[in-house]
Amino acid sequence: QQQVKQSPQSLIVQKGGISIINCAYENTAFDYFPWYQQFPGKGPALLIAIRPDVSEKKEGRFTISFNKSAKQFSLHIMDSQPGDSATYFCAAFGDGGYNKLIFGAGTRLAVHP
Amino acid sequence: IAGITQAPTSQILAAGRRMTLRCTQDMRHNAMYWYRQDLGLGLRLIHYSNTAGTTGKGEVPDGYSVSRANTDDFPLTLASAVPSQTSVYFCASSGTYTGELFFGEGSRLTVL
What residues of chain A lie within 8 A of the CB of B41, using their CB? 105
What is the domain-level CATH number for residue A77?
A: 2.60.40.10
Number of domains forming the structure of chain A = 1
Chain A: residue nearest B41 by CA? A105
Q: Round to the nearest angstrom and report the end-to-end CA distance of chain B.
A: 35
What residues of chain B lie within 8 A of the CB of A93, using their CB? 99
User: Residue A73 belongs to what domain range?
Assistant: 4-112
Of B50, B100, B105, the CB nearest to A42: B105
CATH topology of domain B4-111: Immunoglobulin-like (2.60.40)
Of B42, B100, B105, the CB nearest to A43: B105
CA distances from residue B96 to A72, A79, B28 in whole angstroms, order as listed: 26, 35, 11
* Helix (H) or strand (E) run with residue A107 in it: strand A107-112
For A8-51, write each residue's pLDDT tens digit.
999 999 999 999 999 999 877 677 899 999 999 999 999 999 88
Report yes or no: B20 and B28 within 8 Å, Cβ to Cβ: no
For B16-68, write each residue's pLDDT tens digit.
999 999 999 999 999 999 999 998 889 999 999 999 999 999 989 999 999 99
